[in-house]
């Protein structure tokens, strides 16, 4: 742990006090803890993996939380009940309620990390995907969704991307302020 803390100190040595404060605040807002997984405060810096400059990388872990497991169990029960109505010759479901394992999820489209909501105190971006902290930063992509209800989220990601692009073109470029 001492080596890991030294890596953090080494990174922060390149920042002014104001920059370090901004970085801490931004990371906590952009990667909040929620029912899906840990946030930035729960993440650690590891000396095992380093970037091209030799600086330690942030260690992020993912696992199902109680609410995620309960949601999955509910969805599985409902899907089995629905499928049973048509009377298949074979019916079953795989169990995904154990510890998260990336192997069965090679095509999973994980999402989350940058909370979008109307409440500025509980979100990193507004409905136009505009940063709460920096007016000219827009976060377009899957990170603004807490989860997906289905796979292949292209349309799910595309709709707010077009909404954001229109708002930038029609409003923000003419008068760069908060859009919401």
Asked if 109 is an active-site residue, the reply is yes
pLDDT grade for 138, boundaries at 50, 70 and 90:
very high
Residue with tokens 């002014």, as numbered in its chain = 16
- Complete DSSP assignment for 27-77: HHHHS---SSS--TTT-EEEEEEE-TTSPEEEE------HHHHHHHHHHHH
- As a whole number of angstroms, the distance between CA 178 and CA 130 comes to 8
Is the pLDDT score of 3 beyond 50? no
pLDDT in tens, 165-177: 999 999 999 998 8
- Per mean pLDDT, which of 6-20, 67-81, 158-172 is the most reliable? 158-172
The active-site residue, picked from 109, 147, 151, 172, is 109
Provide the pLDDT confidence category of residue 112 given band limits of 50, 70 and 90. Answer: confident
- Arithmetic mean of pLDDT over the chain: 75
Mean pLDDT value of segment 85-110: 75
Higher pLDDT residue, 59 or 52? 52
The percent of residues in the chain predicted with pLDDT above 90, rounded, is 18
Q: pLDDT grade, residue 41 (50/70/90)?
A: low
pTM, 2 dp: 0.49
- Please say if the pLDDT value at position 66 is more than 60: yes
Confidence of residue 42 (pLDDT cuts 50, 70, 90): low
The strand pairing partners of 130, in sequence order, are 138
| Contact of 111 with 153, CB cutoff 8 Å | yes
Give the separation between CA 9 and CA 171, rounded to whole angstroms: 41
Centroid of chain to Cα 101: 18
CB 110 within 8 A of CB 141: no
Q: Which residue in 153, 135, 152 sits closest to 144, CA to CA?
A: 153
pLDDT at 89 over 90: yes
């Amino acid at each position: 742990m001492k080596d890991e803390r030294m890596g953090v100190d080494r990174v922060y040595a390149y920042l002014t006090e104001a920059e370090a404060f901004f970085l801490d605040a931004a990371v906590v807002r952009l990667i909040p803890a929620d029912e899906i997984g840990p946030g930035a405060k729960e993440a650690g810096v590891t000396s095992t993996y380093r970037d091209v400059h030799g600086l330690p990388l942030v260690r992020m872990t993912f696992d199902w939380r109680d609410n995620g497991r309960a949601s999955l169990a509910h969805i599985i029960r409902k899907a089995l009940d629905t499928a049973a109505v048509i009377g298949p010759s074979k019916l079953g479901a795989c169990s995904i309620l154990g510890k998260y394992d990336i192997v069965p999820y090679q095509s999973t489209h994980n999402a989350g990390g940058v909370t979008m909501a109307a409440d500025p105190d509980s979100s990193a971006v507004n409905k136009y995907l505009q940063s709460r902290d920096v007016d000219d930063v827009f976060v377009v992509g899957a990170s603004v969704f807490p989860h997906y209800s289905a796979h292949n989220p292209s349309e799910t990601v595309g709709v707010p991307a077009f909404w954001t692009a229109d708002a930038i073109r029609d409003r923000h470029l003419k008068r760069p302020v908060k859009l919401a």
